[in-house]
């Protein structure tokens, strides 16, 4: 009987400590009339509660009529004092190796959460993320939304 109680206790403790919830914060901006102009970036403001290093994700929603298999964009981050934190160019693939749309879809809408190869250290503050499209078309048609997702990786001592 004692053996059973110890096994049950071990399973319960293992389950509690192995079920770690990962919080991803996401915000999106609507693209007016689904025509993304080069001079009208998508702007997202995020409040960062913890000083830490964050993994970034590019969020994109488009229709099946979108004519490219990628999205080239510039992502810039500024703090509340309008001081630049970082800026980088992204060439995000929107298709699988077989050529089909990646991401989740409902009818002819496709949602993508693309992990970016850029980890960013951010302090507790509010930040402005600006996403500008760099494709050859202006306006870029059939893009409904663009946004940013962040996930805390490691805490940074203040």
Give the chain's mean pLDDT.
88
The Cα 70–Cα 137 span in angstroms is 13
Q: Per-residue pLDDT tens for 50-90?
A: 999 999 999 999 999 999 999 999 999 999 999 999 999 99
- Among the listed residues 52, 63, 88, 70, the one whose alpha carbon sits nearest the alpha carbon of residue 136: 70
- What domains, with CATH codes, occur in the chain? 24-155 (2.60.120.260)
Phi and psi torsions of 53, nearest 5°? -95, 135
**Which residues, other chains included, contact 2 with Cβ-Cβ below 8 Å and sequence gap of 6+?**
none
**pLDDT beyond 80 at 9:** no
Burial status of residue 38 (CB atoms within 10 A of its CB: 0-12, 13-18, 19 or more): middle
Q: Per-residue pLDDT tens for 117-132?
A: 989 999 999 999 999 9
The Cα 55–Cα 42 span in angstroms is 19
What local confidence, expressed as pLDDT, does residue 30 receive? 97
What local confidence, expressed as pLDDT, does residue 11 receive? 47
What local confidence, expressed as pLDDT, does residue 5 receive? 47
- Among the listed residues 135, 61, 119, the one whose alpha carbon sits nearest the alpha carbon of residue 94: 61
Choice among 9-23, 66-80, 92-106, 133-147 with the minimum mean pLDDT? 9-23
**pLDDT beyond 90 at 94:** yes
The Cα 76–Cα 88 span in angstroms is 7
**pLDDT beyond 70 at 8:** no
* 3-state helix/strand/coil string of 108-126: CEEEEEEEEEEEEEECCEE
Q: Which residue has the higher pLDDT, 8 or 80?
A: 80
State pTM to two decimals.
0.83
């Amino acid at each position: 009987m004692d053996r059973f109680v110890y096994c049950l206790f071990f399973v319960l403790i293992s389950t509690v400590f192995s079920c770690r919830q990962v919080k991803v914060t996401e915000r999106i901006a609507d693209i007016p009339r689904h025509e993304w102009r080069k001079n009208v970036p998508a702007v997202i403001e995020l409040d960062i509660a913890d000083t830490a290093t964050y993994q970034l994700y590019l969020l994109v929603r488009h229709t099946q009529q979108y004519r490219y298999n990628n999205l080239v964009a510039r992502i810039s981050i500024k703090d509340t004092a309008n001081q630049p934190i970082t800026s980088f160019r992204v060439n995000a693939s929107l298709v699988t190796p077989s050529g089909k749309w990646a991401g989740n879809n409902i009818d002819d809408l496709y949602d993508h959460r693309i992990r970016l190869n850029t980890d960013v250290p951010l302090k507790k503050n509010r930040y402005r993320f600006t996403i500008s499209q760099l494709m050859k078309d202006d306006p870029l048609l059939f893009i409904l939304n663009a946004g940013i997702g962040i996930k805390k990786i490691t805490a940074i001592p203040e």
